[in-house]
Chain A
Amino acid sequence: MSESIIHRFLNYIEIVGSLTVKLAEGAGYYFALLIESLAWIIVGPFYKQPVRIPSIFSQMMTIGIAACPIVFILSFSIGVMLAIQMIYNLKTFGAESQVVVGVALSITREFAPLITGILIAGRTGSALAAKLGTMQVNQEIDALRVMGINPVRYLVSPALLAMLIMVPILTFFSDIAGLLGGALYTGVEIGLSFSAYVDRTIAALMVGDIMQGLFKSLVFALIITLVGASNGFSVTGGAEGVGKATTRSVVLSISFIVIADMIFTYFLNR
């Protein structure tokens, strides 16, 4: 009897142990991938293997410009939603007019980077995983390697650069869309004029608030690219494997984004 308890206990330890190893392996792989893609961006040109500018731009187009409408719609809705909630809550204190400060801070520090990150994880991170996974299955990655074209330099570095540029820009765009949503609802609900709303927002916001959001979005961009790329590269087992990797990359990126957000919020607000 006691032997079986010990046995079970050891089993648990083993599971925890192997999970830790897997996690460390995963983290190590992400880190190695990050270092390698950054290294190609910096030293590639000296080895006559530069990261191609046109491919960065085409990635920027698909990540950024194409995502604008959906970022706008979601951020605008979040802005309206925040205004509704805050006006409702602040009513109890008779402080409805403070809604402007609440919306401004929540949007720029929290919701804009978060919603943009989640959206891009679903849109671009999954696309990256699916693309690399399909290429892996079709031996296109092998083909690149035997042609002397490093897959990380050719596929990951441009995506990483494009993400690092576009995600903060989209986040800023999301800031504006969210504030606009808040302004419109506040105007209708408590009759605050648009120009007064803008004035108060500008007065309430400090550069640091916006920078905090943008800094977070940079980290999210790293997470999305690295998780998407490493899941794509590690695909085995044909079309089914591609599907699994795509799903896993979205779930993992969103989880990492939310956790990272919590950690950053904690440290940035001490």
Chain B
Amino acid sequence: MQENKKNVAIEVNDLVTHYGPRKILDGINLTVSEGEIMIIMGGSGSGKSTLLRYLLGLGIPTSGSIKLLGKDITKLNANEMFELRKNMGVAFQGGALLSSMTIGENVKLPLREHTELNEKTMDIMARMKLEVVNLGGFEELMPSELSGGMIKRAAVARAIVMDPKLMFFDEPSAGLDPVVSAELDDLILRLRDAMNMTIVVVTHELDSAFKIADRITVLDRGHILMSDTVEEIKNSDNERIQSLLNRRPSNDMINADEYLSRLTGM
């Protein structure tokens, strides 16, 4: 019973987006409950990164609505969006730390910009977050002095420094060795458990997805194929989901006429 009472943190309705004249996302419907870990999966070109950009409010959709914490970000004004962003944390694929600042200054940046806390408090908060991601003592280093995995973790520290309610991860395990990648998975689980964060992870790593997901949404060519629990996804008889799970290249039937016209351009 308790499950049903959970508040909805993210609600996407009939989202349609274009890149130039090309339709990228078509009729996306998605809900994520408070404290849930939702994995968005799909092959390259499936639109999963695009969906994330729109969830972050970095693009203006053609139609549809995106509600974060009950507020439709397609209709918010700049000031309301500014307030909402204080409750969102994002860990980008490459970390996206500002290369001109030390790790500590990077982590402190949101605090500096959004709060009037005492410098000492900000220092301690930043160091606490760096401890959470196992980077204690690294605050004086520049991003260029860190390895890829460390940069990703520092980016997580920066993303959680304001204690956000929503957390987004873009390909957290891409380019990392399996051990570091497993550590990040654990970190995601710990964050959810300790702070009841709602977490959206975009990834194509199956192992990591199965380990941390409450539910998985599978995207394919701009459509949602399925949005369900790990078990249901694993047992799905949808051919494209199975080929994604079994890492099989998709072997669609070829339409001879269409294929010929694609090749010749006529």
B86 CB contacts on chain A under 8 angstroms: 148
A247 CB contacts on chain B under 8 angstroms: none
Q: A243 vs B154: C-alpha distance in the bound complex, in angstroms? A: 28
Interface residue B138 (Cβ < 8 Å from any Cβ of A)? no
Q: A144 vs B56: C-alpha distance in the bound complex, in angstroms? A: 12
* Seed contacts A142-B56, A142-B58, A147-B113; 4 additional CB < 8 Å A-B pairs: A143-B155, A146-B90, A147-B90, A149-B109
Interface residue B103 (Cβ < 8 Å from any Cβ of A)? no
Task: Mark contacts of A241-259 with chain B using CB atoms, 8 A cut-off: 1 yes-contact digit, 0 otherwise.
Answer: 0000000000000000000
Q: A149 vs B98: C-alpha distance in the bound complex, in angstroms? A: 12
- Select A49's contact among B57, B82, B90, B92, beta carbons within 8 Å: B82
- Which chain B residue shows the least CB distance to A139? B96
- Select B56's contact among A134, A140, A146, A149, beta carbons within 8 Å: A146
Within the complex, what minimum Cβ distance (angstroms) separates A111 from chain B? 34
Within the complex, what minimum Cβ distance (angstroms) separates B78 from chain A? 8
Q: Give chain A interface residues in 142-164, CB to chain B under 8 Å.
A: 142-149
B82 CB contacts on chain A under 8 angstroms: 47, 49, 148
Q: Give chain A interface residues in 120-139, CB to chain B under 8 Å.
A: 134-135, 138-139
Give 16 A-B contacts (CB < 8 Å), ordered by A residue: A49-B82, A134-B99, A135-B98, A135-B99, A142-B92, A143-B90, A143-B97, A143-B98, A144-B98, A145-B58, A146-B88, A147-B85, A147-B90, A148-B85, A148-B113, A149-B110
How many residues on the A side are at the interface (Cβ–Cβ under 8 A)? 15
Q: A145 vs B88: C-alpha distance in the bound complex, in angstroms? A: 11
Q: Do A139 and B79 contact each other (CB < 8 Å), given the known contacts A146-B57, A147-B113?
A: no
Question: Which A residues lie at the B interface, using CB under 8 A?
Answer: 47, 49, 134-135, 138-140, 142-149
- Which chain A residue shows the least CB distance to B162? A147
Q: A146 vs B81: C-alpha distance in the bound complex, in angstroms? A: 10
Within the complex, what minimum Cβ distance (angstroms) separates A137 from chain B? 9
- Which chain A residue shows the least CB distance to B93? A139
Task: Mark contacts of B180-216 with chain A using CB atoms, 8 A cut-off: 1 yes-contact digit, 0 otherwise.
Answer: 0000000000000000000000000000000000000
Q: Give chain B interface residues in 79-134, CB to chain A under 8 Å.
A: 79, 81-82, 85-86, 88, 90, 92-94, 96-99, 109-110, 113-114
Verify B92–A148 contact, CB threshold 8 A.
Answer: no
Within the complex, what minimum Cβ distance (angstroms) separates B73 from chain A? 11
B158 CB contacts on chain A under 8 angstroms: 147
A142 CB contacts on chain B under 8 angstroms: 56, 58, 92, 96
Q: A134 vs B143: C-alpha distance in the bound complex, in angstroms? A: 14
Verify A139–B85 contact, CB threshold 8 A.
Answer: no
